[in-house]
Amino acid sequence: MNKRTLLRAGAIALMMTAPLFAPAQKKGEQKYDSYLFAFFSDNSPRGEQIRYALSDDGFNYRALNDGQPVVSSDTIALKKSIRDPHIMRSQDGKTFYMVLTDMRSSQGWQSNDGLILMKSTDLLHWQHTAIHFPKRFPNLKGFDEANLHAVWAPQTIWDEKEQKYMIYYSIGRHDWEYPVGHRTQPYFKIFYSYANEDFTDITEPKLLFDFGTASIDGDIVYDRKNEEYILFFKDEGLSTMNKGFRTRQGVMRATSKSLTGPYTVEYKHLQKQGQYPVEGSSVFPLIDSDEYILMYDCYANGYYQFCKSSDLKNFEFVQNTLTRGNFTPRHGSVMHITRAERERLEAWDDLCMALDELRQLPIPAFTLEQLDIRKEMMDMAKQALENGREKKDFAKVAKKVRRFTTKF
């Protein structure tokens, strides 16, 4: 199942809390100065594609590629659609990883059995592997296609103790379902595996966290001050009582001194009071700050909500960022990027826009000679998007394409 596939997006990476998510910056290294948001857009096959947006402050974003997909899901996913992209920078700072849900929601919410692993060394070309759990673990009881119905929202974190990348994700199985009133609630638990050195395979799933009722969308951050791991998660599904606590599809915390648990739950919601339902929480530090951002998808209200905290425990509401126009994010993740990485992304984006402008010019506007030049320009732009690795590779071609286009 291993392939090489082009990701049209430029530099993508995730910086969370050092040392788990990325190495601390060394003296003389270029600093991070921007934020990159990776997300999918909506529940249609067209929306279930990877998209990107840039930000100067971590709260307000501008979509790249005019909000269009930056990688084709049918080239990487068995289901031909993806959800929940999580991206990160490796410990060496030079390799990049992305994990995604291999799912097409139009086939049903209980219809996916796998996830996708992706790896890059140049931030443009990506190796990918789609892992179908029933086939990968045929002898694992309860993980057959008839019983397993969901493998959702994978994320990756560096396990300092094991010196390996740990991938954790939500699992739903039919034999775990439980009644809530007159209805049946799918039961989700959070599991983990370790990736191999090539980031093309995973070990057998092991239980990481069982909330007692359904829980999904795990996001683990290391709190260096208190020397503990914090698992942010969503209490999923139909509202019910869990140890005297009313679940309502909100963001919660659990803590542990060990990455693999056990985790102790804090029975309270972290999002803005009265804001339900929410999902897809992601926590990341502000650049050059001791504060952290907690963001989550208020999918029923048409905006992403941002809160901030200095202790990773108490979060203060900052703003609602509307999802509209070409920026319509659903469950995704945010990373820090360097100025050089941002400039490369913007150069790639500029070439995409220049190519689109050329495509939109009406054919009758060209002479036969100009049509030949137009084809040459389009081929040149496509080749640069496929093979370009530096800012100059995109900028030089974009300039040529625009020079030709402005004649009309």
- Structure confidence by residue, pLDDT tens digits, 261-285: 999 999 999 999 999 999 999 999 9
Q: What is the mean pLDDT of residues 310-339?
A: 94
Q: What is the mean pLDDT of residues 170-193?
A: 97
Chain CA centroid to CA 207, Å: 22
Residue 120 has a pLDDT of 81
Residue 383 to residue 376: CA distance in whole angstroms: 11
pLDDT tens, position by position, 229-244: 999 999 999 999 999 9
Q: What is the mean pLDDT of residues 72-91?
A: 95
Label residue 96 by pLDDT band (50, 70, 90).
confident
- Nearest to residue 187, comparing CAs of 201, 172, 199? 172
- Nearest to residue 270, comparing CAs of 257, 259, 283? 283
Residue 25 has a pLDDT of 45
Q: Which amino acid is at 161?
A: K
Decide: 152 and 179 in contact? Cβ < 8 Å. Answer: no
Query: DSSP assignment, residue 36?
Result: E
CB neighbour burial string for 59-98, b if at least 16 within 10 angstroms, e if fewer:
bebebbbebebbbbbeebbbbbbbbbbbbbbbbebebbbb
| Residue 85 scores a pLDDT above 90 | yes
Percent of the chain with pLDDT over 70: 92
Measured in degrees and rounded to the nearest 5, phi and psi for residue 345 equal: -60, -45
Label residue 331 by pLDDT band (50, 70, 90).
very high
Q: What is the mean pLDDT of residues 323-350?
A: 93
Label residue 93 by pLDDT band (50, 70, 90).
confident
| Residue 386 scores a pLDDT above 50 | yes
Residue 30 has a pLDDT of 57
Residue 365 has a pLDDT of 85
How many Cβ atoms sit within 10 Å of the Cβ of residue 365?
A: 11
State the pTM of this model. 0.91
Label residue 29 by pLDDT band (50, 70, 90).
low
| Residue 314 scores a pLDDT above 70 | yes
Chain-wide mean pLDDT for the chain?
91
Decide: 194 and 162 in contact? Cβ < 8 Å. Answer: yes
Residue 24 to residue 288: CA distance in whole angstroms: 13
Structure tokens at 154: 């994978």
Residue ranges covered by each domain of the chain: 3-337, 361-405
Q: What is the mean pLDDT of residues 73-88?
A: 96
Q: What is the mean pLDDT of residues 90-102?
A: 91
State which H helix or E strand residue 170 sits in: strand 164-180
| Residue 21 scores a pLDDT above 90 | no
Decide: 99 and 155 in contact? Cβ < 8 Å. Answer: yes
Chain CA centroid to CA 323, Å: 17
Structure tokens at 148: 């397993």
Label residue 20 by pLDDT band (50, 70, 90).
very low
Give domain 3-337's CATH number out of 2.40.30.10, 3.50.30.60, 2.115.10.20, 3.40.50.300: 2.115.10.20
Label residue 44 by pLDDT band (50, 70, 90).
very high
